Structure 1
Amino acid sequence: MDDLLFRQAMGTFSTGVTVISTEVDAKTHGMTANAFMSVSLDPKLVAVSVDHQASIYEEIRTARRYAVSILDDSQEEISKTFANQIRGKEQFAFATFRDLPVIPDALVHLACDVVQEIAAGDHTIFIGEVKDIEVNEEEGRPLLYYRGAYQALQ
């Protein structure tokens, strides 16, 4: 099977959209990710899959911490910024949660410590123990991704 067919098939699984972020040497780093999931309730674990070519890959390995910002449907432009589809990532004004950079007004912020790395092909899955959670009290709807396009709940 070819790569395009595989991508198309995986694109039929709709996902939420997150920005994964960390800080190393007082410099913030962020990446849009839809390869994110909850892993365990006890202990509270989540996972994110990061391409070895992504700039944030080494930063997470160095920091041993990352934040997850679950985006709402008004934050499509932010997602595109951190997916390197539009410019502005360097000047983005992050908020801070538990000494980690996060996306302001996201639906949820998670502060995680890396507890395990699993090499998986050209990616590494970073298992993070959730140290704290912040849920936005405003009513919001998640930003979704399906078949290569952003979607929103109706």
Structure 2
Amino acid sequence: MHSIERPVDPVTYRKVVGRFATGVAIVTTRLDDVDHVMTVNSFTSVSLDPLLVLFCAEKVARFHDAVLEAGVWGVSVLPASMEDASRFFAHRGRPLNGQLARWPHHLGESGVALFDGAIATVECVTTAVHDGGDHSIVVGEVTALDTPSDAAPLLYHEGRYKTL
């Protein structure tokens, strides 16, 4: 492994990696009859055989420990019309009770909440967790999926929400 002689400025790093446009998704899990929900833009396909996807969870977020303990999770890929949900679930410290009430949703086969307005949904069982600095990289095998809507996707680019 190569060592870096001069550190990269984190502000510049964030600006540079922010140039990579991403979709926006909400990841959900359920632990002890409580729904845990978090907005992510770090969701990606990993493998076709087996079918694997991953997302990254910040270690200090309460969602982190809940999803690791639950072992199952769902992903709802958001349409442009759900920016409000993305913003809401990106904020820390909101009350857990009733947090899903504003958005139509249903429980998937694994018992996790999936948003009815999503353009794609994926349910997973955790197969591996890797250290990723201040985040954990959570890898899951896909157990169910759907494409409930053909709406335009919500995008995130250079620190702002955008649409196609």
TM-score, normalization: structure 1? 0.93
Q: Pick from 138, 147, 152 the counterpart of residue 135 of structure 1.
A: 147
Cα RMSD over matched residues?
1.7
Matches within 5 A, 1:69-148: 69-84=76-91, 90-91=97-98, 92-93=100-101, 94-98=105-109, 99-136=111-148, 138-148=149-159
**Residue ranges of structure 1 left out of the alignment (5+ in a row):** none
Contact 1:108 1:133 in 2 (8 A): yes
Q: Pick from 49, 65, 68 the counterpart of residue 61 of structure 1.
A: 68
Say which SS state the counterpart of residue 75 (structure 1) adopts: helix
Runs of 4+ in 1 over 4 A off after TM superposition: 87-90
Taking a change above 3 Å as real, the CA distance of residues 120 and 15 of structure 1, as seen in their structure-2 partners, is same
Contact 2:22 2:157 in 1 (8 A): yes
Distance 1:89 1:4 in 2: 32
The structure that has the greater radius of gyration is: 2
- Is residue 11 of structure 2 the alignment partner of residue 4 of structure 1? yes
TM-score, normalization: structure 2? 0.88
Identity rate of aligned residues, in percent? 33
